[in-house]
Amino acid sequence: MINLEHQKKELLEEIHRLGYESLRYSIFSDDNPREWETVIEFDFSKNVYLVYATMDRASYNRKLEFTSFIEAKRKFIEKLELDVQINRYYVENDMPINYISPLWAKTDD
C-alpha cells in the first residue's frame, strides 16, 4: 500500500537537507500548481507517480510517469537541482530569472 504522507515527509527531509526550502514545489497536493513549480503527484487511476514542472499556471512540461517512488523522487530532486542551476546561470548572464530565491540571488563581491 502506498503511504503518501510518509513519502512526502521523506521528500521534505531531502529538500531541507539540500537547503531547497525556498524553491517552488508541490508534493502530493490537491491544489492547482503555481507558476514555476516542480510537482510530484500520484495518479491512483494509473497507479503511477507523475513528476513535472510548470511554467505558468496553465502550462507544464511533459509529465513523466514512474511506477517506483524511488525513481520519481530521484527525478523530482533532479528537477529542483536543475531549477537552481538554470536560475544561477540566468543571474550570471544578467537574464530574467523565473522567480526570486536566495539560492541564486546576486551578491555583491
Q: Does the predicted TM-score (pTM) go above 0.85? A: yes
Handedness of CA 92, 23, 77, 19 (dihedral sign): positive
What average pLDDT values come out for the chain (109 residues) when binned by 10 residues? 93 98 96 89 96 75 92 98 96 94 80
Burial of 33 (0-12, 13-18, 19+ CB in 10 A): buried
Domain chopping of the chain, boundaries: 4-95
* pLDDT value of residue 14: 98
* pLDDT value of residue 48: 98
